[in-house]
Amino acid sequence: MNILSYYHQNRKKIWTVIMAIIILIIAIQAINGIVENKKNKKDISNNTINANQYKNNLNINILLSEEDVQKQEELIIDQFLRYCNANKIEEAYDLLTKTCKEQLFPTIDIFKVNYMNQYFLETKLYKKQYYLENTYLITLYQDALSTGSISTGTIQDYFTIEKENNDIKLNICNYIGDKGINRNKTEDFLTVKVIKKHVYKDYEQYEMQVTNLTYNTILLDSQEDTKTMYLEGKNNVKYYSLSHEILKENLIIKPKATVSLFIKYNKEYNSNQTVKQLVFSDIILDYEQYQQSTKKNDYQDRKTITITL
């Protein structure tokens, strides 16, 4: 009763205080909104965003400053994807490493057709997840607000950050990077020089030169078996070549000739799985004689060569 009595006696003062508090709250919210709006306008006018905004994919068409990218190398991924969304093809292409261009997109027109036209005919949102060392798993998905349609389809890719002449660059499309090897092995019939390897998410490609030291035509592998060209790692783990992709004609080496080869091996990217050696275990020393054999499995003049890596 005392409370009701106090309320009736002082209700004007009470409501005056309540209204004052409400007005104060509204005023504070309005001031904060004005400040935030000015900040956003400033960001837009500078065509940049801060490091926290990109993580939530806000304003995906707004580009990052070069200074931000230099300070936080991971931001080059966001910059590249924003260039793609803004259809800034030259700027996006310029962020790729030299080897990525050589391997996948030798010209900007090829990049436009095989990458931009494949993935960025419409705005894409993205998610970025750390994978291994300097490599990130990138998931692209449709921006329903900009397209007006809903799609559950996503595209996954692996991007790797590299330093190139003190500049931060990218490898994309599951290309991790290259590594020089420069190891060779000579037997009395053959010299094999392993120059470098190109590492992809799902396989490794080895570049090599092979020289025939004999006066017979040599077949580097008979392809009678899929497990005769391989890499060997720790505990004798073998990573076999993707021999079905290799034309036999490319494995034929004329007398005293040198050929360049690019052979893929079924080794998924993992920095903890090292390779000790590269092996050719079914080399045919006289290809003409081998061709004349009615039962090629019975041909005996075969050799193995092992290159320590």
Average model confidence (pLDDT) for the chain? 86
| Of residues 39, 74, 38, the one with CA closest to residue 55 | 74
Range of the domain at 277: 177-308
Structure tokens at 188: 């009395």
pLDDT by residue (tens digit) across 24-38?
777 676 666 555 544
41 in a structural domain:
no
pLDDT by residue (tens digit) across 205-224?
999 999 999 999 999 999 99
- Assess whether 218 and 237 both reside in one domain: yes
The mean-pLDDT minimum among 40-49, 165-174, 220-229, 268-277 falls in 40-49
Number of domain units in the chain: 3
- Assess whether 259 and 283 both reside in one domain: yes
Phi (first) and psi of residue 307, to 5 degrees:
-110, 120
pLDDT over 80 (residue 116): yes
Q: Give the global pTM.
A: 0.76
The pLDDT value recorded for residue 40 is 45
Structure tokens at 195: 């120059």
Q: Are 224 and 296 in contact (CB under 8 A)?
A: yes
Contacts of 229 (CB under 8 A, 6+ apart): 221, 240, 241, 243, 263, 279, 280, 281, 282
Amino acid at site 85: N
Q: Are 262 and 245 in contact (CB under 8 A)?
A: no
What are the distances in angstroms from CA 271 to CA 38, 50, 279? 47, 32, 21
116 in a structural domain:
yes
The pLDDT value recorded for residue 19 is 75
- Assess whether 98 and 201 both reside in one domain: no
CA 233 centroid distance within chain: 24
The pLDDT value recorded for residue 33 is 55
- Assess whether 169 and 86 both reside in one domain: yes
| 79 beta partners | none
pLDDT, average across residues 270-284:
93
pLDDT by residue (tens digit) across 130-187?
999 999 999 998 876 555 555 557 899 999 999 999 899 999 999 999 999 999 999 9
What are the distances in angstroms from CA 132 to CA 135, 154, 176, 269? 5, 21, 10, 9
How far, in Å, CA of 154 to CA of 240, rounded?
Answer: 31
The pLDDT value recorded for residue 49 is 45
How far, in Å, CA of 253 to CA of 208, rounded?
Answer: 13
What is the per-residue burial (b if ≥16 Cβ within 10 Å, else e) of 237-273? eebebebeebeeeebbbeeeeeeebebbbbbebeeee
CA 287 centroid distance within chain: 40
pLDDT over 50 (residue 42): no
- Assess whether 184 and 166 both reside in one domain: no
- Provide the pLDDT confidence category of residue 16 given band limits of 50, 70 and 90: confident
- Assess whether 167 and 181 both reside in one domain: no
The pLDDT value recorded for residue 52 is 53
The pLDDT value recorded for residue 44 is 35
Structure tokens at 105: 């997109």
DSSP element (H, E) containing 41? helix 2-46
pLDDT by residue (tens digit) across 56-101?
555 666 677 777 777 788 899 999 999 999 999 999 999 999 999 9
How far, in Å, CA of 308 to CA of 301, rounded?
Answer: 24
DSSP state of 149: S
The pLDDT value recorded for residue 63 is 72
- Assess whether 122 and 55 both reside in one domain: yes
- Assess whether 232 and 297 both reside in one domain: yes
DSSP state of 166: T
Percent of the chain with pLDDT over 90: 64
The pLDDT value recorded for residue 47 is 42
What are the distances in angstroms from CA 43 to CA 48, 131, 182? 6, 31, 49
User: Which CATH number is 247's domain given?
Assistant: 2.60.40
295 in a structural domain:
yes
User: Which CATH number is 81's domain given?
Assistant: 3.10.450
